């Protein structure tokens, strides 16, 4: 299951087929399915196969994947590299010096990227979801790929086999009194191993896992928070009635 592919350097992302406007390019809304175990498990598999070769997730241990329903045996058989142990953190298998020579920068740690990349366009997951779907072929770049969100990005499209090759379709619009050329969509050059809808779902699963990885206790925190608010609301009623009974005879 191990595919040794190039790096997944996360950067600003925008929607495939998005249009330019004064407010900038729009971000797609990422599917929020952090309670969907099947989605999280598929996302974990994609993360290990396509991201972990160059990026680390140094604040996440492999055995924490048991929280999303992956057994220790499945982790050892399918998600661990030969020398890794199930209790170790997710470290990249690339030499940082070599990575800097190849890409011009050391691939960043991705453990918290889903929380750190929020912006005016949406949440961190929205950023990741749109970024991973806006690569296109550009032979003038060192990697042979470019991205709508991050021109001359240092990373190639590591998911190109799944998505296939695409080239941008341009159109001219008038902005601030000047005509500018913007990408209005993509033309599929060669098909990938997935259909567009399957690819979007796979990216959604990957982003879903990265969102869970950034805060594994998120769902528990929300669930406990709801119960705490319900308890406080109920306690408020009792306190209010007790207060009224205590002061009713005070003139």
Domain presence at residue 10: no
23: in domain: no
Identify the CATH number of the domain in which residue 70 sits.
1.10.760.10
Query: Higher-confidence residue: 91 or 25?
Result: 91
- Which two structure tokens, joined as six digits, stand for 109? 């740690």
Tens-place pLDDT, residues 81-137: 767 789 999 998 888 888 888 888 889 999 999 998 888 888 999 989 999 999 999
CA 169 to chain centre: 26
Whole-number Å distance between alpha carbons of 187 and 167: 5
Task: Give me the domain span that covers residue 243.
Answer: 220-251
Cα angle: 52, vertex 56, 62; to 5 degrees: 75
* Number of domains within the chain: 2
Q: Are residues 186 and 240 in the same domain?
A: no
- Give the model confidence (pLDDT) of 38-93 as tens digits: 999 999 999 999 999 889 999 999 999 999 999 999 999 999 876 778 999 999 88
Q: Name which of 23-37, 64-78, 183-197 the model is least confident about.
A: 23-37
Query: What is 78-104 written as a DSSP string?
Result: II--TT--TTSEE--SS-HHHHHHHHS
**82 and 149 share a domain?**
yes
**Does residue 5 fall inside a structural domain?**
no
Shared domain check, 191 and 79: yes
Q: Assess whether 156 and 250 both reside in one domain.
A: no
The answer to whether residues 160 and 250 belong to one domain is no
CA atoms within 13 A on the CB side of 58: 8
What element of type H or E holds 186?
strand 178-191
pTM equals: 0.80
């Amino acid at each position: 299951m191990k595919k040794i592919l190039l790096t997944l350097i996360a950067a600003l992302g925008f929607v495939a087929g998005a249009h330019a406007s004064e407010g900038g390019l729009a971000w797609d809304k990422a599917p929020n399915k952090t309670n969907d175990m099947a989605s999280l498990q598929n996302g974990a598999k994609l993360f290990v196969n396509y991201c972990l070769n160059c990026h680390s997730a140094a604040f996440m241990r492999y055995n924490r994947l048991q929280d999303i329903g992956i057994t220790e045996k499945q982790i050892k058989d399918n998600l661990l590299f030969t020398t890794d142990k199930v209790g170790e953190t997710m470290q990249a298998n690339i030499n940082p010096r070599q990575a800097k020579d190849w890409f011009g920068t050391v691939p960043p740690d991705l453990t918290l990227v889903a929380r750190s990349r929020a912006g005016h366009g949406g949440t961190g997951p929205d950023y990741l979801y749109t970024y991973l779907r806006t690569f296109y072929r550009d032979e003038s770049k060192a990697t042979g790929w470019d991205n709508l969100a991050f021109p001359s990005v240092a990373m190639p499209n590591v998911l190109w086999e799944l998505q296939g090759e695409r080239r941008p379709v341009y159109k001219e619009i008038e902005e601030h009194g000047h005509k500018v050329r913007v990408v209005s969509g993509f033309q599929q050059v060669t098909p990938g191993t997935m259909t567009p809808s399957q690819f979007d779902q796979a990216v959604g699963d990957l982003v879903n896992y990265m969102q869970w990885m950034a805060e594994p206790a998120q769902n528990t925190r929300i669930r406990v928070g709801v119960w705490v608010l319900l308890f406080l609301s109920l306690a408020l009623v009792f306190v209010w009635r007790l207060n009224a009974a205590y002061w009713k005879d005070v003139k």
